[in-house]
Amino acid sequence: MRIVSLLPAATEIVCALGLREALVGRSHECDFPATVAELPALTRSHIDASRPGREIDEQVRRAVQEGRPLYALDEDRLAALSPDVVVTQAACEVCAIGEGQVGGALERCAPRAQLVSLHPTRLDGVLADVGEVARACAVPAAAEALVRDLRERLERVSRRTSPGGAATRPRVAALEWLDPPMLAGHWVPDMITAAGAQPLGPDPGARFADVSWDDVAALRPDALIVAPCGFDLARTADAARPWRDRLRAIAPRVLLLDGNAYVNRPGPRLVEAVETIAAWLGGELKDPSIAAEL
């Protein structure tokens, strides 16, 4: 079995299923577990992600308007790897290379490969994707064990946070971008619910929402989660610094979270983020390498 993963979340799923040694290629964004850095990177971004948030947003919007792809794929290297399974995604063309681009490349350079395209929009869908990857890689039993463990962890959080009922749950909004502000959607509202809070903003499963700061304030959140897409904790802290007073004026409590690893990637570590959010809402920072209070 030779697997190429072009999605960081899929790479984490493949490794969690015990298939690290079957991975032969990855995307340039795949960085967990650390050993995947040894693998050849088959993609690169046309966006300069080192720029400030406003400039990144402008680059992305301009490319989308002009119909230009955000990512390049090394088809020669992909062909040389001769994969049996290639995993990509159809959930967000901005976050990673998409199904259409990868599918077209496979027709040209690796027609025998099985294409697995993940498109979760809810937390349950992320868990279902574990099974989809496992079926393509012929390890269904490994998926059953992994999903069972993840669900048990979510149930433990629920048991700790459920007393008191919905009326006592804190109202929480999550920002996946600061400049301009964007409210997180897709699986993030489910994560907030699983952490024992009431999510504000987009409905579960819906896309992110472009909003104004007045819109965010009008939600009257008890707490804010700041987890910019693609930013680790250090960069999140840097990005939030100019907005500190505004954020603290909107909500009395603000959590900075490593969105790149624990929120934006629809993989197993979403459960760790739920545990972290639940602990923070209860007055404890579970792991300061993942999250920090503003």
In a domain, 150, yes or no: no
186 and 127 fall within a common domain: no
113 and 9 fall within a common domain: yes
189-217 burial code (b ≥16 CB/10 A, e <16): bbbbbbbbbbbbbbebbeebbebeeeebe
In a domain, 155, yes or no: no
130 and 171 fall within a common domain: no
Asked if 201 and 193 touch (Cβ cutoff 8 Å), the reply is no
8 and 140 fall within a common domain: yes
9 and 123 fall within a common domain: yes
pTM greater than 0.75 (yes/no): yes
Token output for 271: 């459960």
* Domain final residue, candidates 84, 110, 144: 144
Token output for 278: 């639940």
Q: How far apart are CA 268 and CA 36, in angstroms?
A: 16
* Domain final residue, candidates 144, 175, 192: 144
In a domain, 63, yes or no: yes
Q: What is the pLDDT of residue 197?
A: 96
Q: What is the CATH number of the domain that holds 258?
A: 3.40.50.1980
In a domain, 189, yes or no: yes
Q: pLDDT by residue for the chain (294 residues), tens digit each?
A: 999 999 999 999 999 999 999 999 999 999 999 999 999 999 987 777 788 878 887 887 887 787 777 788 999 999 999 999 999 887 666 666 777 788 888 889 888 989 999 999 999 999 999 999 999 999 999 999 999 999 999 999 998 886 655 557 999 999 999 999 999 999 999 999 999 999 999 999 999 999 999 999 999 999 999 999 999 999 999 999 999 999 999 999 999 999 999 999 999 999 999 999 999 999 998 889 999 999
Q: What is the pLDDT of residue 286?
A: 81
Q: What is the pLDDT of residue 127?
A: 95
- Give, for 104, the enclosing helix (H) or strand (E): helix 99-109
Q: How far apart are CA 27 and CA 86, in angstroms?
A: 11
In a domain, 246, yes or no: yes
DSSP letters, 217-279, are: HHT--SEEEE--TT--HHHHHHHHGGGHHHHHHH-SEEEEE-HHHHTSS-STTHHHHHHHHHH
196 and 275 fall within a common domain: yes
Which residues 6+ apart lie within 8 Å of 103 measured at CB?
A: 88, 115, 117
Q: What is the pLDDT of residue 161?
A: 82
40 and 132 fall within a common domain: yes
* Domain final residue, candidates 98, 113, 144: 144
215 and 140 fall within a common domain: no
254 and 123 fall within a common domain: no
In a domain, 153, yes or no: no
78 and 184 fall within a common domain: no
Task: Find residue 116's DSSP bridge partners.
Answer: 87
131 and 171 fall within a common domain: no
Q: What is the pLDDT of residue 164?
A: 59
Q: What is the pLDDT of residue 165?
A: 58
42-64 burial code (b ≥16 CB/10 A, e <16): bbebebeeeeebeebbebbeebe
Q: What is the pLDDT of residue 48?
A: 74
Could you tell me the residue range of the domain that residue 68 belongs to? 3-144
Q: What is the pLDDT of residue 266?
A: 93
64 and 115 fall within a common domain: yes
The tally of domains found in the chain comes to 2
